[in-house]
Structure 1
């Protein structure tokens, strides 16, 4: 089972990071704290889009 620290599971965050091409940054530089604010915003936007599509 994926660990949950907040709204999104770590597994979902990594899936989104892979889709956006920032997964290497997360893996190599110590987690999501090393991801730029812009990329974090894009991760959130993608998560919202996926949630909205699943509700249809």
Structure 2
């Protein structure tokens, strides 16, 4: 297997996790402790933020 390419910055993941109320779990147990549904919600929110930024003409 090759290396995984990071698409989302750690800072963005943390920002979204805070927004979704997941930071307590992440701080106590790490990123591996979040549910697949919550990970999907992080990705979904990141896509939404990127689409909003694109609509405003801002690159992230």
Same fold per TM (> 0.5)? yes
The structure number with the bigger radius of gyration is: 2
Task: Tell me which stretches of 4 or more aligned residues in structure 1 moved more than 2 Å.
Answer: none
Deviation at 1:32, TM superposition (A): 1.2
State the Cα RMSD in Å. Answer: 1.0
What TM-score do you get using the length of structure 2 for normalisation?
0.80
Runs of 5+ unmatched residues, structure 1: none
Instruction: Tell me the equivalent position of 2:11.
Output: 11
CA offset digits 1:13-38 (Å, max 9, x no partner): 00000000001111111x21111000
Alignment of 1:2-41 (within 5 A): 6-29=6-29, 31-41=30-40
What is the rounded CA distance, in whole Å, between the counterparts of 1:6 and 1:44 in structure 2?
12
Runs of 5+ unmatched residues, structure 2: 56-60
